[in-house]
């Protein structure tokens, strides 16, 4: 069953009166030294007043990965932390966990397998409330690696690299629809995934492709813009003015052509408006 997505623009779905945000992290974020991205999530979740839910469901070792992030946010001084260890779909109806999701100020989805994460969470009461609270600006949400891949309505489930863009290079499915306007690819330049993202965008010209490097984050604000945080870059593939593509007409392994794409590569501090599809002046 597909998620019923809110048709309102992102800036209307997230409150502009709060400091909450949605952090889409490319994976392998610094967990030891500066912890810039994790500290940003912690502060946007309320700092020492933060009540943080950790969802390690994408991982095959949820106990290990959940404990690691629990320790990190505990060291930072979070007021309370709960590991929402959903391993079966029925766990998504757990009333105690639903109550914590309703009351928490920050939610962190870990890395692992995005298909596993969607399979366990999609259309569950916990996921529906998480999505609505994040879109309303009531809670800060972060997802890293697999937790980033699920953010769009259309999701990259897997694929290859090192080839020309082609339909067979990427496997697509339905994500969790937190930010339906985007298609996210993670570990981006680190794993040579430009052709994969281009292949995904070619089949969904109404979306914006976002490729996020490791230890890098696109932090979406309530006004529909995002800021880049971290050591790498965020690549934006905007097909809004694409004049022509052979996507519908060629075999799955044939090279794709796309004319008049717009490409942006943003680094730390750069900002982009998703609705207007334009670079914004960096805040001083």
Q: Considering 57, 145, 199, 225, which one is annotated as catalytic?
A: 145
Q: Considering 70, 187, 199, 221, which one is annotated as catalytic?
A: 187
- Cβ distance 194 to 200 under 8 Å? no
What are the structure tokens assigned to 64, written together?
């290990």
Integer Cα distance of 25 and 116 in angstroms: 18
Closest CA to 262 of 247, 279, 249: 279
In this structure, the number of other CB atoms found within 10 A of the CB of residue 194 comes to 18
Integer Cα distance of 52 and 45 in angstroms: 7
* Beta-bridge partners for 170: 159
- The string of DSSP letters for 91-152 reads GGG-HHHHHHHHH-SEEEE--S-HHHHHHHHTTSHHHHHHHHHHHTTSSEEEEETHHHHTTS
Q: Considering 80, 91, 163, 267, which one is annotated as catalytic?
A: 163
Q: Is the C-alpha dihedral spanning 97, 46, 15, 58 positive or negative?
A: negative
Using alpha carbons only, what angle is made at residue 206 by residues 188 and 10, rounded to the nearest 5 degrees?
A: 80
Integer Cα distance of 255 and 169 in angstroms: 10
The reply to whether 187 belongs to the active site is: yes
Secondary structure of residue 220 in the 3-state scheme = strand
Active-site positions? 145, 163, 187
């Amino acid at each position: 069953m597909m998620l019923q997505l809110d048709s309102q623009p992102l800036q209307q779905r997230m409150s502009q009166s709060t400091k909450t945000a949605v952090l889409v992290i490319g994976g392998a974020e610094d967990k030891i030294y500066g912890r810039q991205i994790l500290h940003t999530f912690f502060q946007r979740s309320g700092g020492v007043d933060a009540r943080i839910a950790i969802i390690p469901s994408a991982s095959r070792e949820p106990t290990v990965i959940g404990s690691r992030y629990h320790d990190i946010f505990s060291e930072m001084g979070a007021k309370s932390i709960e590991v929402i260890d959903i391993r079966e779909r029925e766990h998504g109806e757990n009333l105690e966990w639903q109550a914590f999701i309703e009351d928490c100020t920050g939610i962190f989805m870990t890395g692992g397998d995005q298909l596993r994460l969607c399979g366990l969470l999609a259309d569950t009461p916990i996921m529906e409330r998480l999505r609505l609270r994040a879109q309303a600006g009531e809670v800060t949400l972060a997802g890293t690696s697999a937790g980033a891949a699920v953010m769009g309505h259309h999701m990259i489930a897997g694929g290859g690299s090192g080839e020309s863009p082609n339909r067979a290079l990427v496997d697509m499915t339905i994500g969790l629809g937190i930010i339906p306007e985007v298609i996210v690819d993670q570990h981006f330049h680190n794993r040579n995934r430009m052709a994969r993202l281009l292949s995904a965008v070619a089949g969904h010209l109404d979306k914006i492709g976002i490729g996020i490097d490791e230890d890098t984050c696109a932090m979406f604000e309530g006004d529909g813009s995002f800021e880049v945080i971290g050591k790498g870059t965020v690549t934006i593939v905007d097909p809004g003015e694409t004049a022509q593509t052979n996507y519908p007409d060629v075999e799955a392994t044939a090279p794709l052509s796309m004319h008049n794409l717009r490409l942006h590569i943003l680094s730390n501090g750069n900002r982009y408006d998703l609705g207007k599809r334009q670079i914004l002046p960096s805040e001083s």
